[in-house]
């Protein structure tokens, strides 16, 4: 399930980011995301690009890596926190919602 979540998030946001970088940013809002990205990548990572298509590919790659890592941190870290807590406090893993337990007095 983690792999499916990762692949789904990366693919959906890859398409969305493509439209943001190529159409929504420059045409609708007048923001040159690729120019800014090219400047930042050249200044920080010393990357050189032959044209805007290479900048677009690099930005889509970096955002895809971020999205894949985001799935891991959003799913794995809570899993490692909640699983030990649910075994230590059985009421957390009960069948009924916690609010219904408070209302039954």
Exposure pattern of 21-56 as b/e (b: 16+ CB <10 Å)? Answer: beeebeeeeeeebbeebbeebeeeeeeebeeeeebb
Question: According to the model, what pLDDT value does residue 45 have?
Answer: 92
Question: According to the model, what pLDDT value does residue 7 have?
Answer: 95
Question: According to the model, what pLDDT value does residue 2 have?
Answer: 84
* Residue extents of the structural domains in the chain: 2-77
Q: In which residue are the tokens 């926190």 written?
A: 81
What pTM did the predictor assign? 0.74
Question: According to the model, what pLDDT value does residue 79 have?
Answer: 83
pLDDT in tens, the chain (105 residues): 889 999 999 999 999 999 999 999 999 999 999 999 999 999 999 999 999 999 999 999 999 999 999 999 998 888 888 777 777 776 666 666 667 766 665
């Amino acid at each position: 399930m983690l792999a499916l979540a990762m692949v789904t998030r990366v693919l959906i946001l890859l398409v969305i980011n493509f439209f943001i970088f190529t159409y929504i940013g420059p045409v609708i809002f007048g923001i040159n995301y690729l120019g800014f990205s090219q400047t930042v990548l050249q200044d920080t990572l010393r990357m050189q690009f032959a044209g805007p298509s290479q900048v677009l590919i690099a930005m889509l790659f970096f955002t895809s890596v971020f999205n894949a890592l985001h799935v891991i941190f959003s799913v794995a870290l809570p899993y490692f926190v909640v699983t030990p807590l649910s075994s230590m406090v059985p009421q957390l893993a009960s069948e009924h919602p916690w609010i219904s337990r408070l209302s039954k007095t």
